[in-house]
Amino acid sequence: MPTLAAIFTPDQPPERLGTVAAAAEAAGLAQLWVWEDCFKESGIATATAVLATTSRVTVGIGLLPVPLRNVALTAMEIATLARLFPGRLTVGVGHGVLDWMGQVGARVESPMTLLREYTAALYALLHGQTVTTHGRYVHLDNVALDWPPVVVPPLLVGGIRPRTVALAGELADGVIIPGGNSPQDVRAALGHFRDGRAVRPGGTSAERAEVVVFVSVPADGPAADVAATVGEYAEAGATCIAVEGGEDGTDLERFVAFLAGEVKPLLS
């Protein structure tokens, strides 16, 4: 059965996060997803808040925009969280919204080159390697984490376009497919993901991959309809379906309880 998760979008005020996390914990929901949008909320800060105020909920960050963050700093932050809360974190990285990256002077000429260099370096750092690389955008000279994770969190790459999804298969532990894509879109994307997996260094194409799909459903929809939608994405290949309820997020506490108490029992 796929993991059923809820999404706390960064258009919600940060002070709501504590009650939503508490509701997820009380309801027995397995996972809560947050992410980093300009100019709203930090993905690392919101993940830390959820992890520190719960004991069972796992947290996904989907995603951190790589043009905005030095890769060594991102590795340090992820490693710190992973050591404080081992086994409770999943992290995604991606291009970010290119217009926003332009607003802060971080937009690059080749987003794919940056994402490739960044993902490879971040993966190596989190796995305790000493990294020296001088790419087009990522420059590290004999860098290693003093406190690498004991339990290395899965590192995912977010995207839907073929080259990005193939890169996720090649260099990461999985892929995050954004909202607004149909189950058929997911199936097509996973074909490109498998293409990348086939050329993964070390011949690890058979490794289990995380496939996270973001889905929006009506917050007041019947549980059976939501479960059917989740099932369609699971059949398409998703290992985790992260659900956002409606457009305004007016009652996230009730929604996470609804997912855990009414939708999850209907999944097989």
Each residue's pLDDT, cut to its tens digit, for the chain (268 residues) gives 899 999 999 999 999 999 999 999 999 999 999 999 999 999 999 999 999 999 999 999 999 999 999 999 999 999 999 999 999 999 999 999 999 999 999 999 999 999 999 999 999 999 999 999 999 999 999 999 999 999 999 999 999 999 999 999 999 999 999 999 999 999 999 999 999 999 987 755 556 799 999 999 988 889 999 999 999 999 999 999 999 986 655 689 999 999 999 999 999 7
Between CA 200 and CA 72 the distance in angstroms is 23
The alpha helices in the chain, defined as continuous H runs, are 17-27, 43-53, 71-84, 98-103, 111-126, 162-171, 183-198, 223-236, 252-258
Place of tokens 């108490």: 261
pTM score: 0.95
Backbone angles phi and psi of 265, in degrees to 5 = -60, -20
Domain assignment of residue 61, given as a range: 3-266
CATH classification of the domain holding 146: 3.20.20.30
Number of domains in the chain: 1
- DSSP state for residue 154 in the 8-state scheme: P
Cis peptide before 156 (omega within 30 of 0): no
Amino acid symbol at 263? V
C-beta neighbour count of 162 within 10 angstroms: 15
Q: Assign 217 to helix, strand or coil.
A: strand
